[in-house]
């Protein structure tokens, strides 16, 4: 297969006449991939490698905190959905049909990364399948696709055992091997009770491996109510005992939204104490993770797109701001302060999801900036305008 063609990228030295977070117009100077300075907008002519923002809204680059860029058939002919409506059924169909579609491959991953960039994404935490059938080929494919951006697009990998950790011989060895790669920041897991049917065994194995190798954990947990809460409590205890504070994330975490308020507060307090974060893809038809409760407890929340046009579902556009809209709408959020908070979940407040302390339009931050024709962040959320300009690491990756 030919190498992935590098995307068009242009170094930017200054972004002129933009409105960070909907405020007054400013000029943003960029050097060495960072925001070097912010000053009141001037009226001097636009120079070489400068962009005229024309008063557009500027937001920090969008952070996709939960993606699966290795699994998509997007860019191929339409694939009709034929799976069973259960996690186990979808896993089985994917295992049976992925090879015929050339999944995983660098070409498929590159197509998805491009779609994410078009929608303003500049940093991604992506789960990448590993199992005895594909080994680490998926990780290698995503690494190749990401390398075409030469560091401008920040792509960080979770080695994800989609087909279980314990029930398939050799998966733990693959996780150990994956943990030695620079691109792999986290080890995944999947429904320890309902997939491996050994919650203690899977959680013990993954947390011990994380403690040994120094990587983090990002585990899918779909199991509901008290079954899910029990597994969360196991993670909390192991996180504290093994010194994994701040290195563990729970994806989906449906159980948190399904508990009674008192039980939820107790569980969230334990998550906060352990430094465990949550990510959601705002699934329709399910209770949403309660933002007010998470904020009150001090538990960070990230937003992601999940799978994008893959063998699990034909849906998905790669737009994390669209997921933010879905989360706000499904949760009945209408006040300005709540809508702004949701926009921050998809941008500045998601710094933790990609290992940053700051991800914002401030001096010294990485120059990840997206421009939109919107009055303010709330307008951008509810109206979902086109991304007019996407800058990542000081380089323009998309100009509308």
174-199 per-position pLDDT tens digit: 999 999 999 999 999 999 999 999 99
The reply to whether 1 falls in a domain is no
The reply to whether 5 falls in a domain is no
The reply to whether 394 falls in a domain is yes
Q: Which residues, 6+ apart, have CB-to-CB distance to 30 below 8 Å?
A: 12, 13, 14, 15, 36, 367, 391, 394
Tally of structural domains, the chain: 2
Range of the domain at 190: 62-354
Per DSSP, the three-state class of 194 is coil
CB 33, CB 71: distance < 8 Å: no
CATH number at residue 380: 2.30.40.10
- Domain check: are 125 and 141 in the same one? yes
- Domain check: are 310 and 373 in the same one? no
- Domain check: are 264 and 289 in the same one? yes
- Domain check: are 67 and 56 in the same one? no
- Domain check: are 107 and 162 in the same one? yes
Q: Considering Cα of 225, then 230, then 233, then 234, what sign does the dihedral take?
A: negative
- Domain check: are 169 and 183 in the same one? yes
CATH number at residue 340: 3.20.20.140
- Domain check: are 329 and 393 in the same one? no
Which residues of the chain fall short of a pLDDT of 70?
Answer: 1-5
- Angle 42-45-47 (CA atoms, 0-180°, nearest 5)? 105
The reply to whether 150 falls in a domain is yes
The reply to whether 2 falls in a domain is no
Torsion, CA 67, CA 347, CA 179, CA 242, rounded to 10: -120
- Domain check: are 201 and 236 in the same one? yes
- Domain check: are 47 and 67 in the same one? no
Antiparallel, parallel or unpaired: β 395-399 and 387-392: antiparallel
The reply to whether 113 falls in a domain is yes
At 4 the pLDDT is 67
At 1 the pLDDT is 47
- Domain check: are 101 and 213 in the same one? yes
The reply to whether 292 falls in a domain is yes
At 98 the pLDDT is 86
- Domain check: are 380 and 253 in the same one? no
At 95 the pLDDT is 82
At 315 the pLDDT is 94
CB 64, CB 305: distance < 8 Å: yes
The reply to whether 131 falls in a domain is yes
**DSSP structure string for 96-161:** HHTGGGT-S-HHHHHHHHHHHHHTTEEEEEEEEE-BTTTBTHHHHHHHHHHHTTTTSSEEEEEEE-
- Domain check: are 300 and 386 in the same one? no
At 370 the pLDDT is 98
């Amino acid at each position: 297969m030919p190498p992935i063609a590098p995307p068009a990228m242009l170094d930017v030295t200054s972004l002129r006449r933009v409105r960070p977070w909907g405020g007054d117009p400013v000029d943003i100077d960029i050097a060495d991939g960072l925001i070097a300075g912010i000053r009141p907008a001037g009226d001097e002519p636009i120079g070489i490698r400068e962009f005229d923002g024309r008063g557009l809204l500027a937001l920090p680059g969008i952070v996709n905190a939960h993606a699966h860029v290795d699994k998509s058939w997007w860019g191929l002919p339409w694939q009709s959905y034929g799976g069973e409506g259960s996690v186990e059924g979808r896993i089985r169909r994917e295992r049976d049909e992925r090879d015929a579609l050339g999944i995983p491959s660098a070409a498929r991953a590159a197509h998805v990364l491009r779609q994410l960039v078009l929608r303003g994404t500049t940093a991604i935490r992506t789960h990448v399948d590993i199992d005895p059938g594909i080994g680490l080929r998926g990780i290698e494919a995503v690494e190749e696709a990401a390398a075409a951006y030469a560091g401008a697009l920040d792509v960080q990998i979770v080695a994800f055992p989609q087909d279980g950790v314990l029930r398939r011989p050799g998966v733990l060895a693959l996780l150990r091997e994956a943990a030695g790669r620079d691109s792999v920041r986290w080890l995944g897991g999947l429904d320890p009770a309902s997939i491996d049917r050994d919650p203690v065994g899977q959680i013990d194995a993954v947390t011990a491996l994380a403690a040994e190798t120094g990587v983090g954990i990002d585990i899918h947990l779909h199991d509901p109510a008290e079954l899910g809460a029990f597994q969360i409590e196991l993670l909390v205890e192991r996180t504290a005992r093994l010194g994994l504070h701040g290195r563990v994330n729970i994806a989906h975490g449906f159980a948190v939204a399904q508990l009674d308020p008192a039980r939820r507060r107790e569980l969230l307090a334990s998550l906060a104490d352990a430094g465990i974060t949550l990510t959601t893809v705002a699934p329709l038809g399910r209770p949403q993770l309660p933002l007010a409760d998470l904020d009150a407890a001090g538990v960070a929340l990230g937003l992601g797109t999940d799978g994008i046009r893959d063998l699990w579902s034909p849906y998905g556009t790669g737009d994390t701001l669209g997921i933010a809209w879905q989360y706000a709408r499904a949760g009945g959020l209408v006040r300005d302060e709540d809508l702004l908070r949701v926009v921050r979940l998809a941008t500045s407040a998601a710094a933790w999801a990609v290992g940053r302390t700051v991800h914002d339009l401030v001096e010294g931050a990485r120059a990840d900036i997206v421009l939109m024709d919107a009055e303010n962040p709330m307008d951008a959320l509810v109206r979902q305008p086109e991304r007019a300009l996407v800058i990542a690491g000081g380089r323009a990756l998309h100009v509308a």
